[in-house]
Structure 1
Amino acid sequence: MKALYPCLWFDGQAKAAAEYYCSIFPNSKITSENPVVVQFKLNGQNFMGLNGGPQYQFSPANSYVIECETQEEIDHYWEKLGDNGKHGCCGWLDDQYGVSWQIIPAILGQLMANQEKAPRVMKAFMQMTKFDIETLMNA
């Protein structure tokens, strides 16, 4: 198998979406395009945008997780991807195209693995929209 990558179905906005995402993520670029398909990389990961029409919509049932090492990274992705989108709770948001993202601190798994600390961490993040690393670590 040569590659495994997601195909995102858009209603005529595949190129605009690819340009938007490439402007947000490092190490990103459009690699090829035609009127139907746009191939692009986000942080080195292959994606395909398909101009498939209005038949299908995105939903939170399929989301993309961004593990962030710092609060600055969380802030960056939260602001950029959430611009003209919808912010949800617990680090979730839908961007302006309807694609769902989870912007989470990379340390979250480690904090949740601590049986003593996990209930306090969960209580803290259930009250958050955008994750705050310092608050989670102090929970």
Structure 2
Amino acid sequence: MSEKTYPCLWFDGQAKAAATFYCSVFPNASILQESPMVVNWELNGQRFMGLNGGPMFQLNASISVFANFDNIEALNLAWEKLVDGGSVLMPIDKYPWSERYGWLKDKFGLTWQLMLSDNNLLLPSMLFSNMQFGNAQSAMQFYTSIFPSSGIDVTELYGPENPEQAGKLMFGQMHLMDKPIILMDGPGDHYFQFNEALSFVVQCENQAEIDKYWNSLIANGGQESMCGWLKDKFGVSWQIIPASLSKLMSHSNNGQKVMEALLKMRKLEIAVLEAAANS
């Protein structure tokens, strides 16, 4: 559980059921921590958080999980399990970029891209479409300028064949604090956009880190929200939290006071949360 950043999925009371389901699909998987509100799990080395936040936000295809498989039988089995009760967005088949690839939405609303590859990595995949179309490369540069141990690994642009797509990011990959993330521009009409149902958690060691990431991510058009949440200028949601938050929230005597203090804040203040825990 040493990851500094990882995706958080918003559910309406289904976080534990979703975590259990996903852990049944992948062989190297486990539930790390659970409470009525939050469940943490790991799939093939990728950590996820599930948050029971209510019916306010629904998962969509703007951010999916890209699952690589080095074994076609394992890929086919995972596809069968994940698509059960869900729907197919792109059929599992041979495509120019892979011998076996498919895109689906599972029964909880999370979308998955499964691809035959030379590894078994799971990583988030962000699709910049509609009003955000054409911003994927700028976003990649923006994010990697903010976080340490970050950089751009792959940049493949659309060629001049279609003027509307020319120069846009066909496929990009970066790493943020050593964790890989895919970014792509999505041409055409899409019914989805980034929302709070899939956010990125950033765990901070001290107040200086919280201040730095918060101020950097809301710069040039981002928006503050409550409880450590914000939206950046591309509409992507982030939770900037202290690494000690889980411990403070589970304080045997004053966890409720910590929660009450947190609910009043926009950017989180570690000293205020610690004071509530020790009051």
Q: TM-score range by the shorter chain?
A: over 0.9
The answer for the alignment partner of 2:167 in structure 1 is: none
Q: Does 1:29 find its partner at 2:151?
A: yes
The answer for the alignment partner of 1:95 in structure 2 is: 232
Which residue among 195, 198, 213 is the counterpart of 1:77?
213
Q: Does 1:8 find its partner at 2:144?
A: no
The answer for the alignment partner of 2:186 in structure 1 is: 52
TM-score by length of 2: 0.49
TM-score by length of 1: 0.96
Q: Deviations over 1:95-129 (max 9, x none)?
A: 00011000011111001111311111011110000
Query: In 2, Cα distance between the equivalents of 1:92 and 1:102?
Result: 5
Structure 2: unaligned runs, 5 residues or longer? 1-68, 70-118, 158-169
Q: Helix, strand or coil: the match of 1:5?
A: strand
* Bigger relative CO (Cα 8 Å, ≥ 6 apart): 1
Query: In 2, Cα distance between the equivalents of 1:51 and 1:126?
Result: 35
The answer for the alignment partner of 2:202 in structure 1 is: 66
Sequence identity (%) = 40
Structure 1 residue 38: Cα displacement: 1.1
* Matched pairs, number: 139
Structure 1: unaligned runs, 5 residues or longer? none
Which is strand-richer, 1 or 2?
Answer: 2
Q: Helix, strand or coil: the match of 1:6?
A: strand
The answer for the alignment partner of 1:108 in structure 2 is: 245
Q: CA RMSD in A?
A: 1.0
Q: Helix, strand or coil: the match of 1:39?
A: strand
Amino acid at match of 1:51: D
